[in-house]
Amino acid sequence: MQDIENKSAPNPKAARDEIMKTFEAFKAANDERLHSLEHKIAPHKVNYDVLLEEKVDRIDRALSQAQASLDRLALIGARPQASAEGEQKSAHNQAWSQFMRRGDENALHRVEEKSLSATVASDGGHVAPAEVQAVIERVLSNISPMRKIASVRPTNSGTFKKPIATTAAAVGWVAETGARAQTNTPSLDLLAFPIGEIYAMAAATQTLLDDAAVDIDAWLAGEIAQSFATAESAAFITGDGTNKPKGIAAYNVVADATQTYGSLGYIATGAAGAFAATNPVDKLVDLTYAPRTPYRANASFLMNRRTLGQVRKFKDSTGQYIWQPSLIAGQPTTLLGYNVYEAEDMADVAANSLSIAFGDFEKGYLIVDRTDIRVLRDPYSNKPYVLFYVTKRVGGGVQDYDAIKFLKFAAS
């Protein structure tokens, strides 16, 4: 078992084999645990059930590591190759390199004047080249689960506004030559998505910047993309909408039977702070049928890894595990046939927690990106380091209240 838990996956085939080997070990251990609970095996051994739980949890962690190994291969394959410093660059890229390495803003200003582009912010800083922004955006989409499943739209304004119909347009039936009465127009609302600013600070020594072998663009993206992704991911789930996106869990959430426009609906597990003691899968199935049919075709689950660790142990009425691993690098695992994504900022299972979300997030949630990333170079504040103050503007919020549902860990 030690080999199963610690073995690393050096290539895609080995990674897939490792996942299946570990998943089989997980199922065997969990089956043993369930059998013990059902038949009260070895009651004279006080620690028997505890040891079984520890064994299942240990293999569960190994299964997560094996799945992560396969996913890392997808990230490596998607990682852009560093370009040689001596390759021919555009005038802007050459000027950008001089700015980053030596602080020469004159070259950038000359390029900006020729292109008539207003790339200098009022508070200082320069817009990063498209290549740098593409690298950062790629890292963000690889790390942030919401960027994988929500709609993402670029904008140049400080607030993005979107008209939406809150009621459907009235229709009627009529004969070919019959008189046609005027139908009522739908009610409209204007959703506003304020744009907040996210920032990060990267530090480098002048020696690093002088090293021609170092790809400065890749270094900068690597330094700040993780910080951006962590902050964004939290905001998309729990953000209050003040100078940041409004997260899905920050909206008013009511019982699905009483859900109306402006609020999201939930299905209760029937037990406070837990799944139901019997047939816990039933409520997960109910959750998958809470959204209307048009939203289920592209629906997915969203939960954190600790909640997923509980769900992995569940079986359906035929004795089959409802969670299945992914054997394709970069593709999500599945739960009840739907993709499942891990978001660490989703709530842990607790009394009245909204720990699992399900629905069509592409229709339900909109991420709004300002189309530039700005960099301010500061060689003075923390000598001998050169600081790079990087800012990015992003907003977000629910755009379709019927598309996303929660599982609430409550009696009702």
Tens digit of each residue's pLDDT (9 = 90 or more) over 255-314: 999 999 999 999 999 999 999 999 999 999 999 999 999 999 999 999 999 999 999 999
Q: Helices 130-143 and 48-78 meet at what angle, rounded to 10?
A: 160
Looking at residue 82, its pLDDT comes to 45
Higher pLDDT, 56 or 120: 56
Q: How many CB atoms lie within 10 A of CB 339?
A: 17
164: helix, strand or coil: strand
Both structure tokens of 137? 């955006």
Q: How confident is the model at residue 144 (pLDDT cuts 50, 70, 90)?
A: confident
The pLDDT value given to residue 136: 82
Instruction: Give the model's pLDDT for residue 119.
Output: 43
Q: What is the model's pLDDT at position 150?
A: 96
Which tens digit of pLDDT belongs to each residue from 321-332? 999 998 877 788
6 by Cβ neighbours in 10 Å (0-12 / 13-18 / 19+) ranks as exposed
Cα distances (Å, whole numbers) of residue 369 to 58, 124, 194, 329, 375: 40, 20, 11, 27, 16
Q: Which of 250, 307, 249 is nearest to 280 (CA)?
A: 307
Q: What is the mean pLDDT of residues 366-382?
A: 89
Residue 299: both structure tokens together = 């629906």
Cross-strand bridge partners of residue 341: 302
Closest CA to 392 of 117, 218, 136: 136
Residue 1 has pLDDT above 50, yes or no: no
**How far is 219 from 97, CA to CA, in rounded Å?**
12
Residue type, 326: S
The highest-confidence range among 36-50, 54-68, 156-170, 283-297, by mean pLDDT, is 283-297
237-253 residue pLDDT tens: 999 999 999 999 999 99
Residue 180 pLDDT class (50, 70, 90 cuts): confident
- Greater model confidence, 333 or 16: 333
pLDDT (mean) for 96-122? 67
What are the two backbone dihedrals, phi and then psi, of residue 61, each rounded to the nearest 5 degrees? -65, -40
Condensed to tens digits (0 to 9), the pLDDT of residues 71-100 reads 666 655 555 444 433 333 467 778 888 888
Give the model's pLDDT for residue 118: 40
> Position 116: which residue type?
L
Q: 357 - beta bridge partners?
A: 302, 406
